[in-house]
Amino acid sequence: KQEVTQIPAALSVPEGENLVLNCSFTDSAIYNLQWFRQDPGKGLTSLLLIQSSQREQTSGRLNASLDKSSGRSTLYIAASQPGDSATYLCAALNSGNTPLVFGKGTRLSVIA
């Protein structure tokens, strides 16, 4: 059974700092891995999706990497801004017709 863990649970950084959020998964036979952002009281916004054959994906100041052999993914946020404050969730998809398995998220606060 796939299990996803995110460390740290919470993180507070000053504005402008580069930061890394970590995600680990127990079953390396994943189909893809998604990173989401969730603002308080809101739904999930997809940030990046990495297919199992890919090593990384980039969108603006965000870069997500995937290492299937070690069961790890990281989300790198460059030059953080207060508007980046949110909860970041990673989720693994094991095959096409299966549900996403989520971590508990990392709550990020960027202090101006």
Partner 1 sequence: GAGVSQSPRYKVAKRGQDVALRCDPISGHVSLFWYQQALGQGPEFLTYFQNEAQLDKSGLPSDRFFAERPEGSVSTLKIQRTQQEDSAVYLCASSLVVDEQFFGPGTRLTVL
Q: Is 73 in the site for partner 1 (CB under 8 A)?
A: no
Please report whether residue 41 would count as binding partner 1 according to CB under 8 A: yes
User: How many angstroms separate the Cα of 13 from the Cα of each of 79, 98, 101, 105?
Assistant: 11, 36, 28, 16
CB of 46 to partner 1, least distance (A): 6
> Which one of 17, 18, 42, 67 is in contact with partner 1 (CB under 8 A)?
42
Comparison of 7 and 79: residue with beta carbon closer to partner 1: 7
Angle 4-6-9 from CA coordinates, rounded to 5°: 140
Using the minimum distance from each CB to partner 1, give the nearer residue, 43 or 60: 43
Which residues are CB-neighbours of 89 under 8 A, at least 6 positions away?
Answer: 6, 35, 36, 37, 38, 44, 102, 103, 105
Q: Using CB under 8 A as the criterion, which residues of the chain lie in contact with partner 1 when the complex forms?
A: 4, 31-32, 34, 36, 41-46, 49, 89, 91, 93, 96-105
